[in-house]
Amino acid sequence: MDIANLSSKEKLLSQLYSVPGMGTLPVSGTLRYPLNRRATTRVQVDSFDLDQLLSGVTTVAIGGHTNPDGDCVGSCIGLYLYLLKNYPKIEVDVYLEEIPPSFHLLSRTEDIKHQVNLVEQSNASVCSKNINKGIISYEILTDENRIDEVKTDSRQVGKIRTDENRIDEIKTDSRQVDEIRTDKQYDLFICLDCGDLNRLGFSLPLFKKAKKTLCIDHHISNQGFADMNYIVSSAGSTSELVFHLLDMKRIPLSGANALYLGIIHDTGVFQYTSTSADTLRVAADLLAMGVDGHRIIDETYYSKSYIQNRVLGKVLVDSQLILENRGVISILSKQEREALQATIHDLDGIVSVLRTTKGVDVAIFVYEVEPHQYKVSLRSTGAIDVRLVAEVFGGGGHQRAAGVAMGGKVEEIQEKLVREILKQM
């Protein structure tokens, strides 16, 4: 590579990372490890220079995938707290959907900007308002003639000042809801644990407007959609990758707690096959910093509320063996969930319990989010690559853990899933 003929941006991209035996990061900005390479090669990105990446940067946005899980939240908050401590002059914002209540054990989760209620723009106007089963939808026409749809649940109350074509105040449960200006341009947007651009959800407009973008991820399906991409498909978690890109001596204890949470959730407390010797070394380093691993594991992974245990019991009782007893499936309707006073977050981890059924190769948990709109969680013992199944219907994930959103009659959804799984049997 002739460095002398590269533009300044290309030089930055080519010099950010190098990996022993793999050369320098291509000008295209994507660094990718082959599957299982890391089993014999410890992740080392010694030439990654965060100071160089942040040179001249005054604003940074951090975002993760929709319906954020432990690794998504842990990696985002861990990096956020690191930047707050070591780069105080940089304005940093985190954009995530609502996180599970137990994750508020982490520091500064109250800083997270959640899904926008309404968009403030100087010349925006509310085009329509629709109310459907307690969900209020506003369609807002921006100065780019783009329709942005934003939602607020029925508990929220708001006031619209149409005389100035802007939203004045929205509140929910006595808390002020952060407004996200889709016209804001960040110097850098860092996307974490997101295998597909569209899974960024409501923060996607901010990603597209950012001057520079960086993606750190471990999903094998990630094709590298940012300007700079660090993708290690064999890594146990994105939090593990974030750890390697930071200066260990400068990681605050609060940030270490967040990264540890991310690692234990995406490795199933070190039981999944993605757990490597390097994963355990990282965990050991974090514990040496003072992380209270027992508390994080107990309170965010194992501890369940009474409602969570009730809905788990319902799902297990209603489960059925399929695929000649090589698979197990359970379906939960929105009406059944609401009768148990359970939220979507109360369903976390249920599919992993289904997967422990002796003799099955694949577990399927289908739950209704809105009428005829379902989320499908898939888990495998390894015999079935559930990522391939999810990708057929627009989803994704990993070989042993994947998910997808599907619409229609639940019987037809089950039939489609079974048909795809049978192709691998």
Residues in the chain, pLDDT under 70: 1-48, 115-182
CB neighbour burial string for 265-292, b if at least 16 within 10 angstroms, e if fewer:
bbbbeeebebbbebbeebbebbeebebe
Q: pTM for the full model?
A: 0.75
Structure tokens at 348: 């976390």
Q: Is 23:54 a contact under the CB 8 Å cutoff?
A: no
Q: What is residue 157's predicted lDDT score, i.e. its pLDDT?
A: 33
Q: What is residue 251's predicted lDDT score, i.e. its pLDDT?
A: 98
Same fold, 3-112+183-297 and 306-422: no
Q: What is residue 141's predicted lDDT score, i.e. its pLDDT?
A: 35
Q: What is residue 252's predicted lDDT score, i.e. its pLDDT?
A: 98
Q: What is residue 121's predicted lDDT score, i.e. its pLDDT?
A: 38
**Domain over 3-112+183-297 is classified CATH 3.30.2270.10:** no
Write out the CATH class of domain 306-422: alpha beta
The C-alpha atoms of residue 301 and residue 298 are separated, in whole angstroms, by 6
* DSSP-derived secondary structure letter, 113: B
Q: Write down the domain spans for the chain.
A: 3-112+183-297, 125-176, 306-422
Give bridge partners of residue 377 from the DSSP assignment: 365, 403
Structure tokens at 375: 């989320």
Instruction: Determine phi and psi for 132, rounding to 5 degrees.
Output: -140, 110
Cα 55 from chain centre: 27
Q: How far is CA 132 from CA 368, 370, 371, in A?
A: 16, 11, 11
Q: What is residue 220's predicted lDDT score, i.e. its pLDDT?
A: 86
Q: What is residue 34's predicted lDDT score, i.e. its pLDDT?
A: 38
Q: What share of the chain is helix, strand, coil (3-state, %, to 5)?
A: 35, 25, 40
Q: Is 310:340 a contact under the CB 8 Å cutoff?
A: yes
Q: What is residue 2's predicted lDDT score, i.e. its pLDDT?
A: 43
Q: What is residue 182's predicted lDDT score, i.e. its pLDDT?
A: 61
Tell me how many degrees the CA angle 200-202-208 measures, rounded to the nearest 5: 65
Give the contacts of 263 (CB within 8 A, at least 6 positions apart).
71, 74, 236, 237, 239, 240, 279, 282, 283, 286
